[in-house]
């Protein structure tokens, strides 16, 4: 999940769209060529000093769901979390439940998908 402040959305929308386009390419690779995706990620881990067999990375990546859209289940989850925060049941609570229709800006993702 990508989170961006409203300030960044206003000041650098093209940078956000560029990031999303790269992310969409990664999702496509994970879905269409999972072995190659595992090899790429394994090499990244090696560059960080982690030696994990490609088979382990491959198995882990295949168990994850790679969905580029904000699914209704995610919206419900975020809404529930916000309600819990507003109710004070989670540390660091918020004062009011945000309007998720405004907070979940899908416009730049739509723009990124259009430019694939």
At residue 18, the pLDDT reads: 95
The answer to whether residues 71 and 78 touch, using CB atoms and an 8 Å cutoff, is no
CA-CA distance, 61 to 74, in Å (whole number)?
Answer: 20
DSSP single-letter state for residue 48: T
Segment 54-78 mean pLDDT: 91
Which pLDDT tens digit goes with each residue over 11-39? 999 999 999 999 999 999 999 999 999 99
Report the alpha-carbon distance of residue 114 to residue 92 in Å, rounded. Answer: 38
What is the value of pTM for the model shown? 0.75
């Amino acid at each position: 999940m990508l989170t961006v402040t409203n300030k960044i959305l206003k000041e650098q929308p093209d940078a956000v769209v560029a990031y999303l386009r790269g992310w969409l390419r990664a999702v496509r690779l994970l879905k269409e060529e999972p072995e190659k995706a595992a090899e790429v990620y394994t090499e990244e881990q090696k560059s960080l000093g982690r030696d994990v067999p490609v088979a382990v990375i491959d198995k882990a990546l295949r168990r994850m769901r790679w969905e580029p859209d904000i699914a209704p289940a995610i919206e419900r989850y975020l809404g529930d979390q916000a309600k819990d925060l507003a109710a004070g049941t989670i540390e660091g609570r918020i004062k009011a439940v945000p309007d998720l229709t405004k907070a979940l800006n899908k416009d730049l993702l739509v723009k990124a998908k259009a430019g694939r």
